[in-house]
Structure 1
Amino acid sequence: MNKKALHTLEYDKIIDTLTEFAYSQAAKEQCRNLLPMTDLEAINTAQRQTDDALLRIFKKGSLSFSGIHPVSASLKRLEIGGSLSMSEFLQISSLLEVAKRAKNFSRMDLTDEKKDSLDDMFEVLEPLTPLNDEIKRCILSEDEVSDDASSTLRSIRRSIGGMNERIRTQMNKVMNQANGSGYLQDAVITMRDGRYCLPVRAEAKNQVPGMIHDQSSSGSTLFIEPAAVVNLNNELKELFLKEAKEIEVILADLSVKVYEYAALINDDYKILTTLDFIFAKAQLAKIHNGVAPIFNTNGRINIRKGRHPLLNPKKVVPIDVMLGDTFDLLIVTGPNTGGKTVSLKTVGLFTLMGQAGLHIPANDRSELAVFEDVFADIGDEQSIEQNLSTFSSHMTNIVSILKHANEKSFVLFDELCAGTDPTEGAALAISILSRLHERGIRTMATTHYSEIKVFALSTDGVENACCEFSVETLSPTYRLLIGIPGKSNAFAISGKLGLAPDLIEDAKSRITESEANFEDLLSDLEHSRLTIEKEQAEINSYKREIASLKQRLEQKQERIESSRDKILKEANEQALAILKEAKDLADESIRNFNKFGQIHAPASEMEKERTKLRKKMSDTQAQLSKKKNDNVPNHRAPKKLRIGDSVKVLSMNLTGTVHTLPNAKGDLYVQMGILRSLVNINDLVLLEEDTSPTSKKYAKTSAGKIKMSKSASVSTEINLIGKTTDEAIALLDKYLDDAYLAHLSSVRIVHGKGTGALRAAVQKHLKRQKYIKSFHLGEFGEGDAGVTIAEFK
């Protein structure tokens, strides 16, 4: 892959961003050396690794590789029999800590049990916990060994502490005597060459017997080791030497232990740096919202909603690009600053990124081809300094491309053959493109030349594309349209900017008839395209609306059929009951009249029996009428609902309160005790007044009015999520008082799961309330562990 194209397509900027995500120097070096590959299997493996790392990041969070240090030099020293320094031990310990962290990260449960391409690397990692614990037990810092490293070291340091105490005691005696005589410059004890000394005035040096170790820069102060502590200092020196020797022994023993695992430590280092590199690619894919492209060796490119990774993701306009299927040469036209160069660079950069194992910022199922080389001649099309030297520079590059490109190459030209006479430049550009087309080389080029547009229209395997431009707003839309040549908007733009109409007409008269007809054809094509797009959008809207209506109709039909079966069943059961009752009544009546006939009962008795039958029929008819009224078959849906209104849910035969206002479809949430359900407004009846026994009980008293008012305003639920413990308990305490006064049977306290601190505080508070009968965590459908249900006495 030639380096010029890598720089021209800004691949190096992508690599700079990638390097920032790596932790270790070795992984950063891998990032800097990352180049596009040409082997399809290697590319797919790299893409799969990036994809698997990205999936782990989404499911488990990021994995830090901070703490990886190079260990090859340290392991080489161990190999030749040397000992490691304390800093080297700490570096190895840090590496093992990263291995432990990565191992734990890999053990976190995934939603699926399938192995991915990274499992083998994670499994090979060896944290060597016993060895790491031994290093941390012995080494405290880069210049300190722990007392617990050995019993000998602990004993020596205990002796050093005792000796220091003896020396200081003796030094204090000498200092007090000398200071009382005025021999000392300062009443302090100092260290010189590891020995305790006193700062003595130069003129009094003979008054303080001892050894002179140093003097001040002015010579007025001498640092003398008193004779009384010389032997003690000597003994202290010997103890320090013993300590240093024991530390050497400890480091040597620890080095032997580390050497036993040198191969595993080296493997850990290589695996961790590789994982660091792979997860850096995944982090890059995450910030770009990238996907793994599908690769082929047929030269086919199909980018779906591609976004240039170096542009602002909030402003960049996605493009769709196809190449290499029915055509292998794509000509992109359009106005300046319309997005032609960006489209060109996007396709080229995606190819380089994909072949390097990096995800591309595009939609799923985007396809890229594997090319052995990518060539790009991209200059500044907006430069006003184009002259022969610029043309020569571009032509030199084009000659090189024609020499080295083959059918497995991808060639990109920006403003091909610009900077010279338009007629000659267009002819030369067509010849170059024809040669590449004949050789089957995938090519994408941008141009302003109308002759090249005609060439694309009249040549098989060559396709036009354009960057859309709005003449109304004088601004590009940056959309890339395949199959449509771009129209020159010079006259339209000039007119919008205020150029005199007679000048525009004069300019139009100076172009040839064929050129004018071609521009008119492009204009008609553009108008037709916009009309088709508008009609297609309307058709798609109608399709969505029809699909929605069909779905609603099917659901309604299912509900009707279900209701019909239920109604028929109930009707049959009721008819059977009525027939049975009628039969029983008829039998009883016949028996009575037979009895009356046998005993010659008076007419009054028979009339009394007939009146009894008539009353029973009237009562039955009244009950049926009442049931009919209670069913409210033609009730009117409430027009205006407010949160807190009392309603009856007909389908459930339950009463509750409005918890949310209806949405556009008429759906709203109704709280019915601890049950919160989504219902339609057509299934509700607004209750004008509370007819519950509680309301009747308290309606006649002032206290009753207060409690009824409280009952109407107190919700059956309180949400404490986001509150501190103190804030939550204060709100909960007042809420429980209000709910108890409102005679609610139970309440729902939402505290969330989180760390569990808020849940514990809520339940602790509930235990102290005398009017709380019981409480329990919510069950499935009630909020689980994020909710506590409390019941009042």
Structure 2
Amino acid sequence: MNNKILKTLEFDRIQGALSQLVVTASGSAQVAKLTPSTDAAEVQEWLDETADGASILRLQGGIPVAQLENIGPALKRVKIGAVLNGTELASITRVLRTVSRVDQFLEDLKEKLDLRRVYDLQNQLTVLPALERRLYTAIDEEGNVTDEASPELHGIRAQIKRLESDIRSRMDQYTRGNSAKMLSDPLVTIRDDRYVIPVKAEYRHQFGGVVHDQSATGQTLFIEPQAVVDMNNRLRETTIKEQQEIARILADLSNAVAPYVDALAADEAVVGHFDFINAKAKYARDLKANEPQVSAANHVDLLAARHPLLDRRKVVPNRITLGEDYQAIVVTGPNTGGKTITLKTLGLLQLMGQAGLFVPAEENSVIGVFSNVFADIGDEQSIEQNLSTFSGHMANIVTILQALDQRALVLFDELGAGTDPQEGAALAIAILDEVGASGAEVVATTHYPELKLYGYNTPGTINASMEFDSDTLQPTYRLLIGVPGRSNAFDISRRLGLDGSVVDRAKALIADDSHDLNNMIADLESQRKAAEIEYTETRRQLEDAQALHDQLQSAFDTFTRERDQQLDKAKDQANALVEKAQEKADKIIKDLRAMQLAHPGTIKEDQLIAAKSGLNALHQDKAVRQNKVLRREKAKQALHVGDAVRVLSYQNDGVLLEQVDADHWDVQMGVIRMKLPTADLEKAQAEAAPKRRIATVSGGASGPSTTLDLRGKRYEEAMTELDRYIDAALLANYQQVTIIHGLGTGAIRNGVTQYLRRNKQVKKFGFAPQNAGGSGATIVQFK
């Protein structure tokens, strides 16, 4: 994409608005290098990120990215062995804490929201909890080393506080006792890092000790009394120890950061990308912008498009279509009618879309992916090159024509202007023909009436105009595609009071074909207005029909619901009657059976059973009595030995081994065999039936080893083995195990961390002590 178009269409102002919305140095750098892409897949990927950001902003208030400084210079310094200062370490700590916060936020968000791209970016984060805790404990927000950085520093600072307290207590004797009258002010101050008192010059020998400073007049001496010299010496020695311990701590912390320089740099970039996504989403919200669809065929259809740099409450939205039904648009109409701003709106919205930004247009708008956007807009006069306005325009057009290809978009403002009208019109037509031959899409504005006929007669080209209200003598700024603009000079002159005979004489002076052209335009305008009225009326009728349809649908739904309720009620009543009759029949049959037993041969047993079955058949089943489809579906869902099932309470798959009783089954889930209620089982699809997996881990006959070594394994293999091992360890009732994953790229370590975080049987976990593997191993405790 040529840089000149970015300046011409003021894309830098879009970047400026985005730069106000980022909070990290990395995010600011990404805004600065933002340019439109010419790759359709990349454009869609960027739009997906913006869509994710908009969803998160709407539902969660945005991704929680904190304000972060650039840690790149600090990482470069530590990489060559330099010792970082507290401020640099504090910046790294903020990055680490932001990474943890963002990772946990997105992990929790996965249960609530489906996203297109952000979760893939999350996987690029490296969470370093051990380093984060160490830095956060040792360095505060301002970059100061805390008392908790080491036991030695804690003890030294406690000693400093005691010495300072003792010195102040001793000095207070001078400021509050009889000696106070010898002081210029009854206060204790510091000179050369030593506690002193301001003594009047005439009493300098009353205190002894050391003079460290004097006032400008020489009337006051700042004296360290002899009684506190020794205490100040001890304080100074302790302070030096403190500085030495701080230097040692900073060196240790720098060494701790050194192995993770690359991971920290990557984390800073990913967090900056999240910040950039936040900014794009906030800018879309501020503009009331929407995600455009991307057309591989370079069709453009911007619905109610607005220029993003104009007040959206005042700007007139327009529909701009190009590329599908026509390749070129010729826009005519009076000055100040909005032709130039319409050109800029099309160009700038296209650049925004290709940069992955939402566009200020209605939903379902479509953009293309152009190889380049060219524009000749504004005054191209150049004093340095001694070019007139016309020459400047032509020089620019020549450059454009030399760089054209079939996937380019060209915007011409006042094409051919600045020279003889007849020659200018001819040049404009020839230039449009040249652009059309290249296959590029073009929109040109002009005043020349010859181009109206060109737009009417040339295939793939359509006329358009900016609407003008002749009643108010004001432009409406509405783009009318398919209607060429016409001159309103005669109408305006007549309305302003010019004598009618003068107007008629002027009309007689212009050519007949100009009259015919203006009459054609007037006829088209009247047809357009008639079509618009007809469309409005048709739209109203459609809305009325839709409202009636909705009412009928609602009434039908109500009727169906009430009918079903009445049928259920009737069946309930019928069942109640049958149950009463059945009770009576049971009593009769019982009496008959008693008679049969008392007088054998009089009544047959099969007759009693048939009578009983007939009475039972009278009972009405409300749900599935006559529904063959439901009965078939119920039969499909019947459970059998060997079926693959989903255990709902554990959200896991298993296989049916045998039916224990009417309400329970034995189910094999991995290495675990459990007795589960039938209500907790759901039959799985046949093609999705899981294979039985038997976890195998190293160890003796009594159970698996308490240590699992994943070093040297591929990520997928390591995660599978980890899952099997944790199952085996739980079955063996282990309270604690160790997972050795090494340092490497950090991928397996991150995978282990994420797996343990999700496993509900894990009580807690953390990196092993330094003498047991440090951050290369993780100790896991089970509940």
Q: Which TM-score tier does this pair reach, normalised by the shorter chain?
A: 0.5 to 0.7
Aligned to 2:398: 399
1:349-401 residue CA offsets vs partner (Å, 9 max, x unmatched) = 122112212121223332222222211111269xxxxx992222212212222
Aligned to 2:72: 72
Q: Aligned partners of 2:70, 2:567: CA distance in 1, in Å?
A: 82
Aligned to 2:135: 135
Change (3 A) 1:300 1:179: same
Aligned to 1:222: 221
The alignment partner of 2:297 has SS state of coil
1:332 CA drift (Å): 0.9
1:89 aligns with 2:89: yes
Judge conservation of contact 2:93–2:136 (CA < 8 Å) in 1.
yes
1:299 CA drift (Å): 3.5
Aligned to 2:60: 60
1:293 aligns with 2:292: yes
Change (3 A) 1:552 1:238: closer
Judge conservation of contact 1:179–1:187 (CA < 8 Å) in 2.
no
Aligned to 2:273: 274
Aligned to 1:101: 101
Q: Aligned partners of 1:119, 1:570: CA distance in 2, in Å?
A: 52
Q: Aligned partners of 1:505, 1:91: CA distance in 2, in Å?
A: 79
1:48 CA drift (Å): 1.6
Aligned to 1:694: none
1:297 CA drift (Å): 4.2
Judge conservation of contact 1:293–1:365 (CA < 8 Å) in 2.
yes
1:453 CA drift (Å): 0.3
1:17 CA drift (Å): 1.0
- Equivalent positions of 1:628-647 (< 5 A) are none
Q: Aligned partners of 2:39, 2:352: CA distance in 1, in Å?
A: 14
Percent of aligned pairs sharing the same letter: 40
Let me know the Cα RMSD of the aligned residues.
3.1
Aligned to 2:709: none
1:413 CA drift (Å): 0.6
1:180-237 residue CA offsets vs partner (Å, 9 max, x unmatched) = 7x54433333322122323333333334322222222212222222223222222221
- Equivalent positions of 1:462-541 (< 5 A) are 462-541=461-540
Letter in structure 1 aligned against 2:459: D
Q: Aligned partners of 2:565, 2:134: CA distance in 1, in Å?
A: 76
1:128-178 residue CA offsets vs partner (Å, 9 max, x unmatched) = 344333333222354643223222222222322332333334444566777
1:291 CA drift (Å): 2.8
Judge conservation of contact 1:418–1:425 (CA < 8 Å) in 2.
yes
1:163 aligns with 2:163: yes
Judge conservation of contact 2:26–2:268 (CA < 8 Å) in 1.
no
The alignment partner of 1:63 has SS state of coil
Change (3 A) 1:58 1:400: same
The alignment partner of 1:466 has SS state of strand
Q: Aligned partners of 1:35, 1:504: CA distance in 2, in Å?
A: 53
The alignment partner of 1:431 has SS state of helix
- Bigger radius of gyration among the two: 1
Judge conservation of contact 1:34–1:356 (CA < 8 Å) in 2.
yes
Q: Aligned partners of 1:100, 1:408: CA distance in 2, in Å?
A: 44
The alignment partner of 1:310 has SS state of coil
Aligned to 1:457: 456
Q: Aligned partners of 2:4, 2:115: CA distance in 1, in Å?
A: 40
| Structure 2: gaps (5+ residues) | 381-385, 574-783
The alignment partner of 1:418 has SS state of coil
Q: Aligned partners of 2:61, 2:36: CA distance in 1, in Å?
A: 28
Letter in structure 2 aligned against 1:73: P
Judge conservation of contact 1:60–1:108 (CA < 8 Å) in 2.
no
Change (3 A) 1:391 1:560: same
Aligned to 1:199: 198
Aligned to 1:303: 302
The alignment partner of 1:124 has SS state of coil
Letter in structure 1 aligned against 2:116: D
Q: Aligned partners of 1:532, 1:552: CA distance in 2, in Å?
A: 30
1:535 CA drift (Å): 1.6
1:241 aligns with 2:240: yes
**TM-score for both structures, normalised by structure 2:** 0.67
The alignment partner of 1:140 has SS state of coil
Letter in structure 2 aligned against 1:103: D
Relative to structure 2, which stretch is displaced further, 450-459 or 331-340? 331-340
Change (3 A) 1:199 1:389: same
Q: Aligned partners of 1:538, 1:453: CA distance in 2, in Å?
A: 31
1:55 CA drift (Å): 1.8
1:603-627 residue CA offsets vs partner (Å, 9 max, x unmatched) = xxxxxxxxxxxxxxxxxxxxxxxxx
1:464 CA drift (Å): 0.8
Judge conservation of contact 1:388–1:420 (CA < 8 Å) in 2.
no
Change (3 A) 1:565 1:366: closer
The alignment partner of 1:491 has SS state of helix
1:645-686 residue CA offsets vs partner (Å, 9 max, x unmatched) = xxxxxxxxxxxxxxxxxxxxxxxxxxxxxxxxxxxxxxxxxx
The alignment partner of 2:347 has SS state of helix
Aligned to 1:367: 366
The alignment partner of 2:123 has SS state of helix
1:738-792 residue CA offsets vs partner (Å, 9 max, x unmatched) = xxxxxxxxxxxxxxxxxxxxxxxxxxxxxxxxxxxxxxxxxxxxxxxxxxxxxxx
Change (3 A) 1:160 1:114: closer
1:520 CA drift (Å): 0.9
Aligned to 2:34: 34
The alignment partner of 1:331 has SS state of strand
Letter in structure 2 aligned against 1:526: E
Relative to structure 2, which stretch is displaced further, 15-24 or 372-381? 372-381
Relative to structure 2, which stretch is displaced further, 261-270 or 271-280? 261-270
Letter in structure 2 aligned against 1:261: Y
Judge conservation of contact 2:379–2:389 (CA < 8 Å) in 1.
no
**TM-score for both structures, normalised by structure 1:** 0.67
Change (3 A) 1:213 1:109: closer
Q: Aligned partners of 2:10, 2:563: CA distance in 1, in Å?
A: 69
Relative to structure 2, which stretch is displaced further, 30-39 or 71-80? 71-80
Letter in structure 2 aligned against 1:135: L
1:493-530 residue CA offsets vs partner (Å, 9 max, x unmatched) = 22223322222112111111111111111111111111
Q: Aligned partners of 2:403, 2:102: CA distance in 1, in Å?
A: 46
Letter in structure 2 aligned against 1:131: L
Aligned to 2:727: none
Judge conservation of contact 2:63–2:274 (CA < 8 Å) in 1.
no
The alignment partner of 2:330 has SS state of strand
Change (3 A) 1:567 1:173: closer
Judge conservation of contact 2:334–2:487 (CA < 8 Å) in 1.
yes
Letter in structure 2 aligned against 1:290: A
| Structure 1: gaps (5+ residues) | 382-386, 575-793
Q: Aligned partners of 1:117, 1:566: CA distance in 2, in Å?
A: 48
Change (3 A) 1:72 1:532: closer
Letter in structure 2 aligned against 1:446: T
Judge conservation of contact 2:87–2:144 (CA < 8 Å) in 1.
no
Letter in structure 1 aligned against 2:164: N
Judge conservation of contact 1:302–1:321 (CA < 8 Å) in 2.
yes
Q: Aligned partners of 2:540, 2:140: CA distance in 1, in Å?
A: 70
